[in-house]
Structure 1
Amino acid sequence: MTVHAEEFHPGAGFPPGTREEWRRLALEVLRKSGAEVASPEEALAYATYDGVTVRPLYDASDLPADPGPPGFPPFVRGTRAVGGALSGWDVRQRHAHPDPAITREAVLADLENGGTSLWLVLGEGGLDIAALPEVLDGVYLDLAPVVLDAGAGTARAADAYLRLADARGTAPAGGNLGADPIGLRARTGAPVPLDEAVALARRVREIPALRAITVDATPYHDAGGSDAEELGCSLATGVAYLRALTDGGLSVQEALGQVEFRYAATADQFLTIAKFRAARLLWARVAEACGAPGHGGQVQHAVTSSAMMTARDPYVNMLRTTLACFGAGVGGAEAITVQPFDARLGLPDAFARRIARNTHALLVEEAHVARVADPAGGSWYVERLTADLAAAAWEWFQAIEAAGGAEAALERLIPERLAATRDRRSRDIARRTWPITGVSEFPLLDERRPVRRPAPEPATGGLPRIHYAQGFEALRDRADRAPERPLVFLATIGPVAAHTARATFAANLFQAGGIATVAGGATTDPAQIAEAFTRSGAAAACLCSGDKLYAEHAAAVAAALAGAGARKVWLAGKGHYEGVDATLYAGCDALDVLRTTFDDLGVAP
């Protein structure tokens, strides 16, 4: 039986819900948990690093202005009027192996197994530009778009690519020559004139679909910046290029058609979705201010975040990149690069590249993520988050412009702003309120990581490149270099039910730094606990139990451990007890605890 849409009411038969009813029920739950709060919205809300408040409940009153339909200004809902049911997004895999033969084999494998375009890293940190014809041997340039990433060698790489296309008598199918002088300065610190980028844009403006300029916002993300900071820096860079291009003889419409944007996609799927939607909204606003609103559809290339990738327990990276790819696809990115799970270990192997390709295939072919345009559109939460993120990014963009633009702001304003955000996130990571699975949480001490050939070192000298896990991973490396793995004894006081929660917490924290743990038995006898400590061979101990048993036994057990030779006695929990040197608890600075423990145990730096 066919049911007409106007006759189908999914909510029929259910009483209407109200915000007040939700507030009443939420307060009941919070108070049962022991929290005394007046407002559940305030108690359950949190702020992003951009100051955007994420609330626990949204309704229709939270919707911002109508974003319009897909394919039309302001392009919040995408630059295409229909979904990508037939082709999905452009599967753009990155290639940086310096051996031309290996790269050519990988390129052909990608294109034969789901890849639709290529991203080639040339020059420093990648392939020799002279090897471009060899690498692209067998690649149909009129079918597979090529994106170049050659840094200071952009002009030479672009010339080599265009001459190769001319020699084959074919026009490139699309792609980008990768001119990004401001992005290069952000990476290396070296000032690069914009003339070269303008010359390339003039050279290729008659080639349909091929663009000359990439606004790469990932240097700001890789330096620890927030989403709005990444967006604001990209806007300022894009505007600087528009000024240079129009001064160089291109019309506003031609200039807009020469620019493509590259953003990082993270495992925070909702912020990723909102970021790509907000980026289009903001660029459409710039195009409107330039007098070309119909040409403000931003072309977006998403690449899964390098900062979020871990060298420890690298297989978890498959989950991170899947979430990131999902977020970018739902957010409307035209092209997506999924980094191989072993990217932190060196040059990826064929298996890792295959998993990266298949991530796209699963999301497009099996999960049908690309079947409709803007599947998150209309969500009260996503629409509000998009608008709030765009507002924060626009404010940051205006601050950059007030400082003289992107180039001038790279001298001081941008690095200082990113450093402040980086420090806030680092504190959260150290306190494990920003958990990193497989590293700061649920570490695997006996992991056997795959071995990869070292990757070429990328250009440096500009903004730093950070990895969220680097603090914990440095300690893991320090522990692995020790002749024997550092060990802490867990003095479990009382029955299993009393000590399990804190023993598990303490073990997880110490192991996050590569320190092994061994637990004693379920007893309150200080002598038995001290004897178990001596047998363990550990040099430090941590008391684990409930507050009631701590009050009765902590001082005696701590004294017994000290008498047995413990250099340091920790306690899992809070409170002051005689003989206890320090405490560790949820929200404590885990990195500081671990560094202190290394020093107590005499582990060499």
Structure 2
Amino acid sequence: MSSSLFNDFDPVSSKQWKQQIQYELKGADYNETLVWESPDGIKVKPFYHTDEFNEPLASGGKATSFTICQNIFVHDVEKSAGRALSTLKRGAESIRFTIPDENIDVEKLVARLPVDVPIYFNLGFLSIDFVKKIDVIAKEKNATYYIQLDPIAQLAKDGNWFSHKEADLEALNTISIACPNVHFLGVDGSLYQNAGATIVQQVAYILGHANEYFNSIATINKPVIIQVAVGTNYFFEIAKLRALRLLFNLIAKEYDHNFECHIIATPTKRNKTLYDYNVNMLRTTTECMSAILGGADTVANLAYDALYHKDNEFGDRIARNQLLVLKHESYLDKVDNPADGAYYIEELTQQIAEKALALFKDIEANGGFLGQLKEGTIQRKIAESAAKEQELFDSGKEVLLGTNKYPNKNDRMSGDLELYPFVKANPRKTLIVPIIEKRLAEKMEQERLAMEEKAD
């Protein structure tokens, strides 16, 4: 029955659809009325049709194999190791340890963990000896370990290298040879999204960032780990990850690097709020969906209260359960590339890829990514994009429910802040102007907190 359902209807071409729409508009211009444009210049049409497409883009990524990752900040080794074991029993499939210094006993940290669980080490320092320790453990256990070590991200975020450019890049070269059992190279692209870069800028800057490593490290014989922050524009974010993988593969082949990049995605902080904080769960749910459907290899959710609470069991459990529901109850892991062939997403992917590639080429033609960081060009472009988005939020055109629309005036947060949730000013001498992460709601929230204090 289903195979012959439409046999009695003549096919309708995209041209015929457009003519009919034009007729219904009663003289209004089709492009001006129905085709809208994103801040990146991505044009979105009212409909998409099969006769405008050829074969689906080979986006890569496998939704069937994405893993649910639990973030753990390591302060006490024994407690962190116990927490990792507990969270694995409750549904996590990989662990990411954020390690603040090299005094952590990494051997003790992973001693009790199953060898078949992928583990990410997000290092806030650069130490060849520490990475060598992890490499030895990986070899002994035959385990899969990813080292998120990114001196360029350190420069971009902090304003200074770990040591200095030559020493940092030489350390990566040493690690690439001395530590063959770990995935050692990370590119943290989440900074650009959280600071307010547009989608096209994010993809182009990640490519430029990665290209600096291809030019500086003699041997990269493991997949590059790319960390991406996922925003709230559902379909655009799916297309962003697909375009990123396509362009990374294109550029990597120029260096005879034939490994797929390994994408670890996490929800953005930029649209998260203190007030009406439960809405953060809705935001992170759609963002995790975009990450999965866009082909992320690993998804590490953000707890709804991560802005103002220290890590806690309840927040972690809710964040983990969101991913468990998406995987085991929404069945998002049943098809490898669920977005392939969706005309709208294919078109978005194509446009983002084309514009990001053009911007990447412009960066390379004008000093490269590090050169433009040193000149302040990257920082200025991100600041301009962030200011435009902030203006949309301040005017109410970009909505965060519970904050700039339908706020609960009785909601009080001043007594619940365990963490400082705003940009911290730390004037000091830096090599470059750092890229600053900032949430859209910060100014409004500070005003509300000040009013609470006055009322008290």
- Tell me if TM exceeds 0.5: yes
| CA distance, structure 1, for counterparts of residue 21 and residue 452 of structure 2 | 47
Q: 1:135-168, CA deviations, whole angstroms, 9 ceiling, x for partnerless residues?
A: 434213x2222211223345354244335556xx
Q: Describe the shift of the 1:351–1:409 C-alpha distance in structure 2 as closer, same or farther (beyond 3 A).
A: same
Match in the other structure for 1:57: 47
Q: Deviations over 1:547-588 (max 9, x none)?
A: xxxxxxxxxxxxxxxxxxxxxxxxxxxxxxxxxxxxxxxxxx
2:191 & 2:367 partners in 1: Cα distance?
A: 20
Q: How does 1:593-604 map to 2 (within 5 A)?
A: none
Distance 2:41 2:90 in 1: 42
Name which structure has the greater RCO, CA cutoff 8 Å, separation 6+.
2
Deviation at 1:440, TM superposition (A): 0.9
Aligned mate of 1:170, from 141, 150, 161 = 141
Distance in structure 2 (CA, Å) of the matches to 1:67 and 1:359: 30
Alpha-carbon shift at residue 344 of structure 1 (Å):
0.7
Q: Which amino acid in 1 is paired with 2:113?
A: V
Separation (CA, whole Å) in 2 of partners of 1:291 and 1:392: 24
Structure-1 separation of matches of 2:189 and 2:425: 16
Is the 1:41–1:56 Cα contact (8 Å) retained in structure 2?
A: no
Q: Deviations over 1:357-411 (max 9, x none)?
A: 1111111111111101111111111101000001111111112212222211112
Q: Report SS of the residue matched to 1:408.
A: helix
Q: Cα deviation per residue 1:89-128 (whole Å; 9 max; x = unaligned)?
A: 111121125344443333222211111111111117xxx6
Which of the pair has more CA radius of gyration? 1
In 2, Cα distance between the equivalents of 1:10 and 1:211? 52
Which of 318, 324, 332 is residue 355 of structure 1 equivalent to? Answer: 318
Aligned to 2:55: 66
The answer to whether the aligner puts 1:108 opposite 2:85 as a matched pair is yes
Task: Tell me the equivalent position of 2:447.
Answer: 475
- In structure 1, the partner of 2:106 is 132
Could you give the per-residue CA deviations for residues 491-512 of structure 1, whole angstroms, max 9, x where no partner exists? xxxxxxxxxxxxxxxxxxxxxx
Q: What's the CA shift for 1:469?
A: 1.7
The offset of 1:197, in angstroms, is 1.5
Q: 1:434 to 1:30 in 2, by over 3 A?
A: farther
State whether structure 2 residue 124 is matched by structure 1 residue 151: yes
Question: Which shows bigger deviation, 299-308 or 362-371?
Answer: 299-308
Q: Residues of 2 paired with 1:236 and 1:10: CA distance?
A: 50
| Cα separation, 2, equivalents of 1:442 and 1:404 | 47
Q: Is the 8 A contact 1:232 1:396 kept in 2?
A: yes
Tell me which residue corresponds to 1:190. Answer: 160
Contact 1:145 1:175 in 2 (8 A): yes
Q: Hey, what's the Cα distance between the residues in 2 that align with 1:303 and 1:479?
A: 33
- Out of 232, 241, 248, the residue aligned to residue 267 of structure 1 is 232
CA–CA separation in structure 2 for the residues paired with 1:239 and 1:321: 30
Distance 1:320 1:378, change over 3 A: same
- Tell me the distance in 2 between the aligned counterparts of 1:459 and 1:481: 22
TM-score, normalised relative to structure 1: 0.68
Residue 8 of structure 1 corresponds to 3
Going from structure 1 to structure 2, the CA distance change for 1:44 and 1:97 (only over 3 Å counts) comes to farther
- 1:463-485 CA-partner distances (Å, limit 9, x unpaired): 1111122232222223222227x
Question: Which residue matches 1:428?
Answer: 392
Cα deviation, residue 219, structure 1: 1.2
Contact 2:156 2:435 survives alignment (8 Å): yes
| Cα distance in 2 between the residues matched to 1:306 and 1:198 | 33
User: Residue 91 of structure 2 aligns to which amino acid in structure 1?
Assistant: G
Does residue 407 of the first structure (1) align with residue 396 of the second (2)? Answer: no
Q: Distance in 1 between matches of 2:452 and 2:130?
A: 42
Q: Is the 8 A contact 1:223 1:463 kept in 2?
A: yes
Partners of 1:67 and 1:290 lie apart in 2 by: 26
1:439 pairs, out of 399, 403, 406, with 403
Structure 1 counterpart of 2:253, from 288, 297, 312: 288
> 2:158, 2:5 → 1: CA distance?
56
Cα–Cα, structure 1 residues 154 and 218, in superposed 2: closer, same or farther, change >3 Å?
Answer: farther
* Cα pair distance change 1:427/1:9, threshold 3 Å: farther
| TM-score, reference length from structure 2 | 0.88
Kindly tell me: are residues 258 and 367 of structure 1, through their superposed partners in 2, closer, same or farther at Cα, counting changes over 3 Å?
A: closer
Structure 2 gap ranges (5+): none
- Aligned counterparts of 1:436 and 1:175: Cα–Cα separation in 2: 38
| Structure-1 separation of matches of 2:311 and 2:11 | 53
Q: Which position in structure 2 is the counterpart of 1:301? A: 264
Whole-angstrom CA distance in 2 between matches of 1:392 and 1:331:
18
- Quick one: distance in 2 between partners of 1:473 and 1:156? 43
Encode CA deviations 1:12-67: one digit per residue, 9 max, x unaligned: 44554455665566568767xxxxx622342233222211112222223443x634
- Establish whether residue 219 from structure 1 lines up as the match of residue 208 from structure 2: no
Q: 2:74 touches 2:99 (CA, 8 Å); kept in 1?
A: no
Q: 1:447 to 1:25 in 2, by over 3 A?
A: farther
1:43 paired residue among 29, 33, 36: 33
1:301: how far off?
Answer: 1.0
Residue 257 of structure 1: aligned partner: 222
